[in-house]
Amino acid sequence: GAVVSQHPSRVICKSGTSVKIECRSLDFQATTMFWYRQFPKQSLMLMATSNEGSKATYEQGVEKDKFLINHASLTLSTLTVTSAHPEDSSFYICSARAATAVRQETQYFGPGTRLLVL
Amino acid sequence: SQQGEEDPQALSIQEGENATMNCSYKTSINNLQWYRQNSGRGLVHLILIRSNEREKHSGRLRVTLDTSKKSSSLLITASRAADTASYFCATNSGGYQKVTFGTGTKLQVIP
């Protein structure tokens, strides 16, 4: 149980285009989803916290107009990188926290999406 | 900002040996979690230890937590080549809303 999927797993795009990444909780409902970015050989940095039905909370230094987050349902959150540039190339990972109280402490991570902007 | 600092940054051991990784953090926490990440992959949750716990076991994993020193350790006993991965500690504070990751330890287990 507690499986989180991401799609696509890998994407290459041209500079200036927008890319949408989906994060789905497959067998549980997630009231909260988190988006992280990981540069090579570095740790995960939290970008934003997404609560179902409300606006995402962005971490300091993360541009909300560039990284659009939509959490439309209890099983789906999307991250759109708008007008992507080469410096946005990174590994994007989402995680989801279950709505049930018992498992609320633990986040379940997706497999990640590798974005390469040319 | 990084909450956790881990050491060593890299660790190379022979199969069968034990591996110990340490994590230090700065603020008070609700719990601390350890994750494993294989190269280029997502994270796998290993174990969670709450702030009122001092030690926890799960299979070949043993985690300790010293809140007075704001530190935790992860011990992997009888390591296997398949344990080769990066290991991250992550702290959860302020109402469980977000988790902050440490810098990670890259473990290599040589067969």
* Contacts with B45 from chain A: Cβ below 8 Å: 106-109
Tokens 């994060």 identify what position? A23
pLDDT digit string (tens) for A33-48? 999 999 888 889 999 9
Q: pLDDT-derived band of residue B97, with 50, 70 and 90 as boundaries?
A: low
pLDDT at A104: 60
pLDDT digit string (tens) for A100-113? 655 566 788 999 99
What CA–CA distance (Å, rounded) separates A22 from A10?
Answer: 12
pLDDT at A106: 74
Q: Does B96 touch chain A (CB under 8 A)?
A: yes
Q: CB distance B88–A111 less than 8 Å?
A: no
What CA–CA distance (Å, rounded) separates B72 from B83?
Answer: 19
Best to test chain B binding among A107, A113, A115, A116 (most B CBs inside 10 Å): A107
Q: Does B44 touch chain A (CB under 8 A)?
A: yes
Q: CB distance B35–A32 less than 8 Å?
A: no
Q: Does B2 touch chain A (CB under 8 A)?
A: yes
Please state, in angstroms and as integers, the Cα–Cα distance from residue B53 to each residue in A50, A85, B16, B29, B97, following that order: 30, 45, 28, 12, 20
Kindly identify which residue of chain B lies nearest to residue A58, measuring between CA atoms: B98
Structure tokens at B3: 């909450």
pLDDT digit string (tens) for B40-65? 888 888 999 999 999 999 999 999 99
B107: closest CA among B8, B30, B31? B8
Using CB atoms within 10 Å of the CB of residue B27, give its burial: 0 to 12 exposed, 13 to 18 middle, 19+ buried.
exposed
Residues 6+ apart with CB under 8 A from B42: A4, A6, A93, A109, A110, A111, A112
Of B44, B88, B98, the CB nearest to A43: B88
Best to test chain B binding among A44, A50, A113 (most B CBs inside 10 Å): A44
Separation of first and last alpha carbons in chain B: 36
Residue B28 neighbours by CB distance under 10 Å? 11
Structure tokens at B81: 């080549």
Residues 6+ apart with CB under 8 A from A55: none
Please state, in angstroms and as integers, the Cα–Cα distance from residue A55 to each residue in A61, A66, B25, B76, B92, following that order: 17, 15, 30, 41, 22
Residue B51 carries which DSSP code? T
Residues 6+ apart with CB under 8 A from A67: A35, A47, A48, A58, A79, A80, A81, A82
Q: CB distance B30–A105 less than 8 Å?
A: yes
